[in-house]
Structure 1
Amino acid sequence: MNSTPTRPVDAAQRSAFWQDVHTDHDVDGVSWWQSVPELSLSLVDATGVGVDRPIIDVGAGWSTLVDHLLELGYTDLTAIDLSTTALQVVRDRLGPAGEAVVLQMADVLDLHPARRYALWHDRAVYHFLTEPDEREDYLASLERCLEPGGHLVVATFGPDGPTTCSGLPIVRYTHAELAAQFPTYELLGTAGDEHHTPWGATQQFTAVHLRRPT
C-alpha cells in the first residue's frame, strides 16, 4: 500500500482503504494492536452495564475486546468494521464460543440499526474524523444506535499523541475537548493510556465515559 495514502472521503473509499490496511498487514503489524485492551475493558466495567445488555464496538478491526468480554460473561455483543478481512479474522479467532457475536461490515458514519444499544465503544474511529460533516454523521449514527440513558466510551489520541495513523491525519483531543464533542451527554469519567505499539513506540490515548440523557 502507498506509504502516503490519499485520505478517503466517502463510504466506498473508506471501505477500500481499511480493507487494504487489514489485507496488507499482519495482526501485529499495525500500531493499534493490543493483545489485551486494558483501557477499554476498564471503561466498560466502569459503566456498570449488565452482562446481558447489548454492546456495540465500532471500528473494531482485529480488536480482542469482544473476546475478553465473552470471557467475562457478556452475552450480547456486536462489532462493526469496514474490513471484511478484519472481521473474518475475529470470527476465526472466536471459534464456536463466539457464534452469538454479531460481526458486521458497516460504516459508522451511516448506521441505521434495527435495535439500540446500552453501550457504544470506540477506540479506533473518532480521531480520524477531521471534517465537521464527518463528526456530524458520527453523532447522527450514535443517536440512532444508543438508547436513552446509554453509555458512550470513546478514546482518541491525546494531545501528545501521534498526528497521523495508518498514514492518515487525525485530530488529537484533551479530555475536555473530547467530552465537548458530545455536548448533550453527561461526563461520568475520564481515563488515559500510554499505548505501546508492537514495535515499541509509545502513543498517548485520551478516553471519556459519557451517558446519553434519558
Structure 2
Amino acid sequence: MTATENDRPEDASARLSFWEDVHGGKDVDSVSWWQSVPSLSLDLVDRTGVTHDAGVIDVGAGWSTLVDHLVERGFTDVSAIDLSETALQTVRDRLSPSEETVTLTVADVLSLDLRRTFEVWHDRAVFHFLTKEDEREDYRASLDRHTGPGAWAVITTFGPAGPTTCSGLPAVRYTHEALAAEFPGWELVDTAGDDHQTPWGTVQQFAAVLLRKPDEGTARR
C-alpha cells in the first residue's frame, strides 16, 4: 500500500510518538537507512575542511554512527538530535567512553533552539520527509538559527530514482539542483550521491549537496 499525506504525523507530539515506535520496535541494523560506516557523510564533512574543534550537529541522527566516527577522527564538539530517546540512548551506550565530547538531545528539528551555532549542520534523510512547505520553512529557520556566516550544511535526501516512501511515510525525491534550490542564500559548493544498499539487499538512491552560508562580507555585496 502506498503511503499518503494522511499517513503522516501532523504535530510534534505525533512525530515523537511515531519515531519512538520505529526505533523501539526494530533492531539497529534492521532499518533501511542503517550504515555501519556513513562514508558519504564523512566524505562531505571532510570536504568542508573544518578543524576538529568545530561544532558539528547531526539532525535526525537516530542510530547513526556518524558521531562515533567523528569522535574517532578527533572531533571534540559533536552534537546529535533526534525525536527518539530510544535511538539516542543506543548511541549514548555505544559512546560511553567518549560521551563528554558528544551532546545528545531529544528535539524536533522543526522547532530546534539549542541557543548556539555550529560550523557544520548534517542531515541524512530528514529533509525528504518534509512534504509541506511550512515544514520546510520551519526547517530552514532552524538551520539559519543554528549556523553563522561561513557555516556548512550537508543535506542528503532520496534522489530522483529513490523511493517515494520510507518507514510508511511519503518522501520527496530531489535532484541536486532542486535540493540546493530549497536553500536560497546558501552557496552550492559540491554535490555527491550514493546508491545505498539496505540490510535486505535493495538499493536506495540518495542525492547530497554541500552548501555554504555566505560570510558577512559576501552577504553585503
TM bracket (short chain): over 0.9
Give the superposition deviation at 1:49.
1.1
SS in 1 for 2:61: coil
The answer to whether the Cα contact below 8 Å between 1:116 and 1:147 also exists between their aligned partners in 2 is: yes
Query: Quick one: distance in 2 between partners of 1:149 and 1:27?
Result: 35
Query: Quick one: distance in 1 between partners of 2:121 and 2:64?
Result: 15
The answer to whether the Cα contact below 8 Å between 2:125 and 2:158 also exists between their aligned partners in 1 is: no
User: What corresponds to 1:199 in structure 2?
Assistant: 200
Normalised by the size of structure 2, how large is the TM-score?
Answer: 0.94
Query: Quick one: distance in 2 between partners of 1:86 and 1:109?
Result: 18
Query: Quick one: distance in 2 between partners of 1:50 and 1:123?
Result: 21
User: What corresponds to 1:97 in structure 2?
Assistant: 98
Query: Quick one: distance in 2 between partners of 1:94 and 1:197?
Result: 24
Query: Quick one: distance in 2 between partners of 1:134 and 1:209?
Result: 21
Unaligned stretches of 5+ residues in structure 1? none
Normalised by the size of structure 1, how large is the TM-score?
Answer: 0.97
Give the superposition deviation at 1:100.
2.4
SS in 1 for 2:101: coil
Give the superposition deviation at 1:183.
1.4
User: What corresponds to 1:166 in structure 2?
Assistant: 167
The answer to whether the Cα contact below 8 Å between 2:197 and 2:203 also exists between their aligned partners in 1 is: yes
- For the aligned residues, what is the CA RMSD? 1.2
Answer yes or no: is 1:49 the counterpart of 2:41. Answer: no
The answer to whether the Cα contact below 8 Å between 1:156 and 1:172 also exists between their aligned partners in 2 is: yes
Unaligned stretches of 5+ residues in structure 2? 216-221
User: What corresponds to 2:114 in structure 1?
Assistant: 113
User: What corresponds to 2:126 in structure 1?
Assistant: 125
Amino acid at match of 1:6: D
User: What corresponds to 2:15 in structure 1?
Assistant: 14
The answer to whether the Cα contact below 8 Å between 1:113 and 1:144 also exists between their aligned partners in 2 is: no
Amino acid at match of 1:199: W
Give the superposition deviation at 1:188.
0.4
Q: How many residues align?
A: 212
- Give 1:58-69 correspondences, 5 Å limit: 58-69=59-70
